[in-house]
């Protein structure tokens, strides 16, 4: 069975575990190096990107996680997790670090404050269908390289890029874990099964 870690330092851990269970993947809470080393893929959930950065360093997980991703570990970052996977941030704080797994620039809190949270129908580009999505203080992608595949756009916000993939790394602006649509998680699980 595919073992998918959920970084359990902050964010929607249970909701990601529920999505993984629907896909018959085993979930593992990751707080320690041994747990990180035991998984076939990992999810970096939403939360607060500056806090996630600090906690990864405090738990001595930042460098090992970055190294595993560079070595091909499939990774999904949702909301703040998208920020953590970017190479550049607009609106970050002094000294904020990212894992640099996707060659893109993201804007923190692009959709506004907590009170500006919204639910919209996105265009899921791989098959042209719609996807229901929830944005909570979400980032969006401002720039990306040719190596990055755009997976979803939000027409309600001017065609904002809200889901991308580069190799083994997937990132979404929205909280894919709080819907019953498991396409994003299925993409991660499929990557883990083929790596």
> Domain segments of the chain: what residues?
3-194
> Averaged over 146-152, what is the pLDDT?
97
Could you tell me if 120 and 135 are in contact, meaning their C-beta atoms sit under 8 angstroms apart? yes
Query: Which of 101, 8, 94, 96 is CA-nearest to residue 59?
Result: 8
Which pLDDT value is given to residue 194?
81
Which pLDDT value is given to residue 92?
84
Active-site position among 16, 157, 175, 185 = 175
Burial (Cβ within 10 Å: 0-12, 13-18, ≥19) of residue 44: buried
Per-residue model confidence as pLDDT tens digits over 1-52: 899 999 999 888 999 999 999 999 999 999 999 999 999 999 999 988 999 9
Is 79 in the active site? yes
Query: Which of 187, 180, 134 is CA-nearest to residue 156?
Result: 134
Is 149 in the active site? no
pTM of the model: 0.94
Per-residue model confidence as pLDDT tens digits over 87-141: 999 988 888 999 999 999 999 876 655 545 568 899 999 999 999 888 877 898 9
Is 177 in the active site? yes
Active-site position among 15, 17, 35, 177 = 177
pLDDT for residue 58 is more than 80? yes
Active-site position among 35, 79, 157, 185 = 79
| Dist. CA 173–CA 82, nearest whole Å | 6
The answer for residues whose C-beta is within 8 angstroms of residue 141's C-beta and 6 or more apart is 82, 104, 105, 106, 150, 160, 161, 162, 164, 173
CATH topology of domain 3-194: Rossmann fold (3.40.50)
Query: Higher confidence at residue 162 or residue 112?
Result: 162
């Amino acid at each position: 069975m595919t073992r998918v870690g959920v970084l359990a330092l902050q964010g929607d851990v249970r909701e990601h575990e529920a999505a993984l269970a629907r896909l018959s993947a085993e979930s593992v809470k990751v707080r320690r190096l041994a747990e990180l080393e035991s998984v076939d893929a990992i999810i970096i959930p939403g939360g607060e990107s500056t806090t996630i950065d600090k906690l990864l360093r405090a738990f001595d997980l930042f460098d090992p996680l970055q190294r595993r991703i560079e070595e091909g570990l499939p990774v999904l970052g949702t909301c703040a997790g998208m920020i953590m996977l970017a190479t550049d941030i607009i609106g970050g704080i002094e000294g904020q670090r990212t894992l640099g797994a996707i060659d893109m620039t993201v804007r923190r809190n692009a959709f506004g404050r907590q009170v500006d949270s919204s639910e919209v129908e996105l265009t899921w580009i791989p098959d042209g269908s719609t996807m229901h999505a929830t944005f909570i203080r979400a980032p969006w992608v401002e720039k990306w390289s040719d190596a990055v595949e755009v997976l979803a756009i939000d027409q309600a916000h001017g065609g904002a890029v809200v889901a991308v993939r580069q190799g083994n790394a997937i990132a979404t602006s929205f909280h894919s874990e709080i819907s019953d649509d498991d396409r994003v998680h299925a993409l991660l699980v499929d990557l883990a099964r083929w790596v």
